[in-house]
Structures are given as structure tokens and as C-alpha cells.
Amino acid sequence: MTQIKNICCIGAGYVGGPTMAVIAQKAPGIKVTVVDINEKRIAAWNDADLSKLPVYEPGLDAVVGEARGRNLFFSTQVDEAIAEADMIFISVNTPTKTYGIGKGMAADLKWIELCARQIARVSTTDKIVVEKSTLPVRTAEALKSILENTGNGVKFQILSNPEFLAEGTAVEDLHAPDRVLIGGDPDTEEGKAAIQALVDVYAHWVPQENILTTNVWSSELSKLTANAFLAQRVSSINALSELCEKTGADVNEVAKAIGQDSRIGPKFLKASVGFGGSCFQKDILNLVYIAQSFGLKEVADYWEQVIIMNDHQKRRFAENIVRTLYNTVSGKKIAMLGWAFKKDTNDTRESAAIYVADYLLNERAEVVVYDPKVSKEQILADLDYLGTRSEAENRDLITVVNSAYEATEEAHAVAVMTEWDEFVALDWDQIYNAMLKPAFLFDGRRLLDKEALKAKGFEFYAIGS
């Protein structure tokens, strides 16, 4: 029986940070050290002011406050933490490749490989290595081959333990997961012991029946499949939102009607300006790439359509703004409310807002953005990353402000991009009065009350109605 006393997590991001904080909170007997090469990020995790944590998640400050300094530590001393751990979680970023074979589709495993080599170099005692990042199927095999060829006699067991938390509800999801999935090698005694060791970590707070164990490949593929199914639901309802707009049906009514069928279920049927986040697109592209590499054209095409639909949804939202504003937005002030890819997070990766803003900037609009949790630096970095225009031009064309009222003053149009609660509570009369007329309002989230806003005088457009 292996009992875990010391955990190291490499990568202090949106996944590693919250997950380790909850493990430390729930298993006070285990020392958990989260390491990262990014010194600024580690400093923020160690900030005495808990409102300055680098990841914004409701409830996370309390969890970190409880465990930090007791059995939860954040550090840049990667080698030391690896050396003393019995179990190492790899939770580094795995972005889509931007070069070479598989460009734009396959995951870039450079960082994972660097981690594996570092673990191999530093370790002097046996370790269980856990893949936490979303990875293409069969990554564990690559990890294994790097780790097993160190020649220093240290033994490694590789587990896959995909993360299913959703941003914005990470702490809730970690406290009461629908399931925890652990993939390992059930055919050897060492493999079984490693699986059990990780089961025991989660068993501090997760009921046994919610902890599933599988072989490594099933676990890896389940993660991609779960995200592909979820994203497919969003693309499916978004495809119907366009048809609703043409036919006079209302997508919310359709979603409610189909969601009551227990075989379909009510969740994840909210039409939107398009899904974002670090996982959905990347995981589907990964699935498509894997299918293609096995020559499964129909399978690859089937899943790729989910992405094609999502890109279409973002583009048509932007096109509709331009068309509605008499076919030109050149020099017009457009207020974008929200930049995060969903509410209750400061994460902006793949946010629909980035693509809509880019489209409007190409049309020479004067875009003004307000998001309650996203910084100006992040917004500019997101646009620069697209590489559509020079950094100087981006700074020239886009303005980031500190309130929704400032953003909407004298605007030709307002576009709601993220479903932040505070946007519902805004004084929309005040906004209407300060806008140019006609006051156009585009709701990309079905957040606002259409009839009430029309009664105030807005020219109102909402996805799917």
C-alpha cells in the first residue's frame, strides 16, 4: 500500500491552482506544493491579499486562505518539490500547435515533455506521475518512455486523471465532482497500487462510487469525448438559433421544450455568441487530428463541424452588428460588455469577444470594452496574439474602461458578450439616455429582458429570437 504524504503539482494555472488548493484543504495530512516557472504567478498565489490570486474563482480565496502555509505551498523551486514528492501532477499548458506537423490541430506537447525530462533528471525515489492537463490519447505512453529510460533505477507509474472542473464553478465542481476519473495500468501490481494511492487521495472527500477507474487510454479519451459532447450541444443549439431567427421560433423556448426530455436533459442548451475557453476547441481539434491520423475521415469531419459552426456563430454575430448599423461601423463607437469567455472567471482564452472585436476593428469601428474581471493588458494581449494588425493599431483602435456606463456613453451600439450578473442589474434607462439614437443593443447571451428593453426604446437584437 502506497500512502501519499507529499504531492507536487507542476503548473499553477487555472487547473493546477484550484485543484491542488482543494486537495490540500480536504486532505490536511498531505503536503501539497504547487510549482511554476512563472515567478509573477507564484508571487500572486502567495499574496497576503487573497483578492490578488492570479485565478479568479468564486470561493477560491477561502480555500487558499484555509490551507496555504499549513499544507499548501506555492513555489518556484521546481526541482526541490519534484525531488521530495511521492506523487507529481503535471498541470502545464498544452496549447494547439502553431507550427509544423499538426499545426492548428494537434496539441503542442513541448511543455509536457520538458516536465517529463525534468522529473527524470531530478528524481531519486520512486514516483507516481499523474497527467492532469488535457492531453491527446496516448500521451501517457510518451511520458512513460521518457521516464523509464533514465537509467538510474527509479520506478515511475503513470496515471491519467483528467480534470472536469468548469471555470467559474471550479471550487464547487472540485468539492462535489460528478465523478473523478483515474486511468492506470490495472494489469500489474504496481499499477493497481498507484491507482489505489490516487483513489485514496480523493476518498478524503469524494464518495467511492463517484471515483471511476479505467485503463489509461479510456481515461485520456473520455476527457476529449466529454468536452466534444458538451461543445457539440452548444453548436447544436447555436445552429438552431439561426433557424429560429429566420422562422419566428424562439431558441429559449425550443431549448426548454427539448430539455424536458430526460434523454436530452436541460443543461448546456443555452444559445450564445459561441463557446470559448481553453478546452473545447483545443480538445475537439485534438480529436479531429487523432481521427485523421488513423484515416477516419468521416469521424474527423463529423467533429470538425462543431468548430465550423462555432466560428460561424461568432462571425454572424459580428456581421449582424455591421449590417444593422446601416452596413458601416467605421468610426462608430461600439461598446462591448464582457470579454471573459463566460461569467465568473477572468480567463479569456478563445473567448468569442476576441473574434467579434477583431471583426469590428477590421471594419474600423471604435471598440470600447468593459469587463469586471479582465485587465486592459489581457485584452490587448488577446488581440495582439491574433496578429491581425500591429500592436500600435490595436492600441489605437480599442479602449478599455472601468465601468459599463463609461463604455456605453455616446455609443452607437452595445454588444453583450459575457453573461456577467452585473449586466442584468445595470440601469438600462441611464444607458439608453446616454447612447446615440437609435440605440442598438445586441445580446449575445440571451441575458436581458427583450420586452422590457424594447419598451425603454432600444433597438434590440438577441441570439435566437
276, 372, 444, 464: which one binds ligand UDX (CB under 6 A)? 276
CA distance 120 to 146: 7
- Residue 16, interface with ligand ADP (CB under 6 A)? yes
Query: What are the cell numbers at 451?
Result: 420586452
- Residue 398, interface with ligand ADP (CB under 6 A)? no
Q: How far is the CB of 336 from ligand ADP (least distance, A)?
A: 24
227, 241, 252, 465: which one binds ligand UDX (CB under 6 A)? 227
Q: Are strands 87-90 and 127-131 parallel, antiparallel or unpaired?
A: parallel
321-349 as b/e, with b when 16 or more CB fall inside 10 Å?
bbeebeeebeebbbbbbbbbbbbbbbbbb
Binding mask 269-308 for ligand ADP (x = CB under 6 A): ---------x------------------------------
CA distance 302 to 406: 44
Cβ(449)–Cβ(324) below 8 Å: no
Size of the site for ligand ADP (CB under 6 A): 21
Cβ(278)–Cβ(350) below 8 Å: yes
- Residue 160, interface with ligand UDX (CB under 6 A)? no
Bridge-partner residues for 127, per DSSP? 156
Cβ(181)–Cβ(219) below 8 Å: yes
Q: Is 279 a catalytic residue?
A: yes
In the bound state with ligand ADP, the residue whose beta carbon lies nearer, of 114 and 176, is 114
- Residue 115, interface with ligand ADP (CB under 6 A)? yes
CA distance 93 to 134: 8
In the bound state with ligand UDX, the residue whose beta carbon lies nearer, of 369 and 435, is 369
- Residue 277, interface with ligand UDX (CB under 6 A)? yes
In the bound state with ligand ADP, the residue whose beta carbon lies nearer, of 14 and 370, is 14
Q: How far is the CB of 330 from ligand UDX (least distance, A)?
A: 29
7, 8, 9, 13: which one binds ligand ADP (CB under 6 A)? 13
Size of the site for ligand UDX (CB under 6 A): 19
Cβ(96)–Cβ(107) below 8 Å: yes
- Residue 15, interface with ligand ADP (CB under 6 A)? yes
106, 279, 306, 404: which one binds ligand UDX (CB under 6 A)? 279
Segment 158 to 217, residues that bind ligand ADP, using CB under 6 A: none
Cα–chain-centroid distance for residue 330? 33
The catalytically annotated residue of 9, 115, 244, 279 is 279
In the bound state with ligand UDX, the residue whose beta carbon lies nearer, of 142 and 166, is 166
Segment 36 to 95, residues that bind ligand ADP, using CB under 6 A: 36-38, 41, 78, 91-93
Q: How far is the CB of 108 from ligand ADP (least distance, A)?
A: 11
- Is 97 annotated to bind a ligand? Reply is no
In the bound state with ligand ADP, the residue whose beta carbon lies nearer, of 168 and 464, is 168
Query: What are the cell numbers at 372?
Result: 469586471
Bridge-partner residues for 357, per DSSP? none
In the bound state with ligand ADP, the residue whose beta carbon lies nearer, of 41 and 342, is 41
In the bound state with ligand ADP, the residue whose beta carbon lies nearer, of 35 and 284, is 35
- Residue 139, interface with ligand ADP (CB under 6 A)? no
- Residue 354, interface with ligand UDX (CB under 6 A)? no
- Residue 348, interface with ligand ADP (CB under 6 A)? no
Segment 10 to 69, residues that bind ligand UDX, using CB under 6 A: none
From ligand UDX, ligand ADP, none, interface partner of 458 (C-beta below 5 to 8 A by class): none
CA distance 361 to 191: 54
- Residue positions annotated with a catalytic role: 279
Binding residues for substrate: 163-167, 223-227, 263, 270-276, 341-342, 445
Name the site residues for ligand ADP (rule: CB under 6 A).
10-16, 35-38, 41, 78, 91-93, 111, 114-115, 133, 278
Binding residues: 11-16, 36, 41, 92-96, 133-134, 163-167, 223-227, 263, 270-276, 279-282, 341-342, 349, 445
Name the site residues for ligand UDX (rule: CB under 6 A).
163-167, 227, 230, 234, 268-270, 272, 275-277, 279-280, 341-342
